[in-house]
Amino acid sequence: MTEYFTGKRFRSVSEQSLPRETYLPFLFNWGGVPVSKGLRGIFKRKLFVLMSCGLILFTSMLNCQCSSDRQNRPESRDHLIPLDNVRNSPTEDNSIDWFKAGTPDKINGVALVIHGLNLRPVKMKSIITLLTDYGIDVLNLSLQGHGRNYSHEVDVDSSTARVEAFKTVSYKLWMDETHRAYRCARKRSDEKKVFLFFIGYSLGGLIGADLLASHPDVRFDRMVLLAPALDIHGIHYVAKLLSPFPRMVIPSFTAKSYLANNGTPMAAYNALFETIKHFNQHIGPKLNIPTIIFIDQQDELVSYRKLKRRVEKETLDQWQFHLLEKGKTGVQEKMHHLIIDEPSLERIPGSK
């Protein structure tokens, strides 16, 4: 049995029977206002937007070919409005992009969003749009080696510069970037006196959870974790044999439209392993805040069973699982860890 948030109270439901109408109230209905019929209609159209957070980790470790992918949604971000009145430092920070709520007269919350490993940060567009539509200011973090977060030099093209930056990443560097982004988001939520949410996919979910567990000053009001890399299958630790070669780039075989770079350097995988180790050393009751975890039980990277046992062992009774299931036909992306859009996730248990 798990718990889900409905307005101002919690009630128990089974994992398989969790109704779809609970997800938007979980994030947006913190005032206890019932979900309107209109909101349900919007949710039917945007169900998979909640899974638009990231990219498959260790695709190079899995013997799987992903079909070429073209999203039904346009890649343009023109409808997303930058939050120009928020500045994080006197100089431009290429790791941070702010987007303003679509309800300028009332800000309902602030969200920190973090992408997956080697994912183009622009792929977070769908979830950012959903959040801004419901009155939430969004800080979208690009970890070094992704998006515009690399050294910009006149005589070096962006692709080369981004990969070179990716080869120098570390746990400390990514955690420092995440902590800095958190402080910016926290400042905004405190100014507006609204909730601060965290939404992260795979590597992003892991980093956010580790930040919360290990930093006394960090607190979130709610979290949404999509296939968070908190507990990965043991076979993937074989990659640690290559850890002495941080600049070695392992090709990625997922659809190119998702990739920030053509491959992932071992430096990034080393940072991932160190984040998992650090999280294991700091996990505790501070993590027990209202949290939804989306995951496919057949996830090739994240072990659902290990993750569920961990949640039970640590008595994280405010963490709830929502199980996703790939459709048997008509699915363009076959990997179960990839749960970011309609082509990759056709069917959900209990949905029509």
Q: List, for residues 42-87, the tens digit of each pLDDT value.
A: 333 444 444 433 322 332 332 232 333 333 333 334 455 665 545 4
Per-residue pLDDT, 343 = 57
Q: Tell me the mean pLDDT in the region 27-49.
A: 38
Per-residue pLDDT, 121 = 85
Rounded CA gap, 121 and 65, in Å? Answer: 23
Per-residue pLDDT, 46 = 44
18-27, 115-124, 214-223, 298-307: segment of lowest average pLDDT: 18-27
Per-residue pLDDT, 25 = 52
Rounded percentage of the chain residues whose pLDDT exceeds 70: 68
Instruction: State yes or no: pLDDT of 98 exceeds 50.
Output: yes
* pTM, to two decimals: 0.77
- Alpha carbon of residue 285 to chain centroid: 22
In whole angstroms, how far apart are CA 196 and each of 26, 118, 215?
A: 13, 26, 16
Instruction: State yes or no: pLDDT of 5 exceeds 50.
Output: no
Per-residue pLDDT, 328 = 59
101-110, 211-220, 229-238, 320-329: segment of lowest average pLDDT: 320-329
- In the numeric block, which tokens belong to residue 154? 């006149």
Under the banding of pLDDT at 50, 70 and 90, the label for residue 336 is confident
Tell the CATH superfamily of the 48-324 domain.
Answer: Alpha/Beta hydrolase fold, catalytic domain (3.40.50.1820)
Per-residue pLDDT, 325 = 79
- Max distance between CA atoms of the chain, in angstroms, equals 59
Q: Over the stretch 99-140, which tens digit does the pLDDT of each residue have?
A: 999 887 889 999 999 999 998 888 888 888 889 999 999 999
Average pLDDT of the chain, as a whole number: 76
Q: Tell me the mean pLDDT in the region 5-29.
A: 39
Rounded CA gap, 35 and 29, in Å? Answer: 8
Instruction: State yes or no: pLDDT of 245 exceeds 90.
Output: yes
Order of strands, edge to edge, in the sheet holding 291-296? 96-99, 136-141, 109-114, 195-201, 222-226, 291-296, 319-324
In whole angstroms, how far apart are CA 332 and each of 76, 259, 279, 339?
A: 22, 17, 34, 11
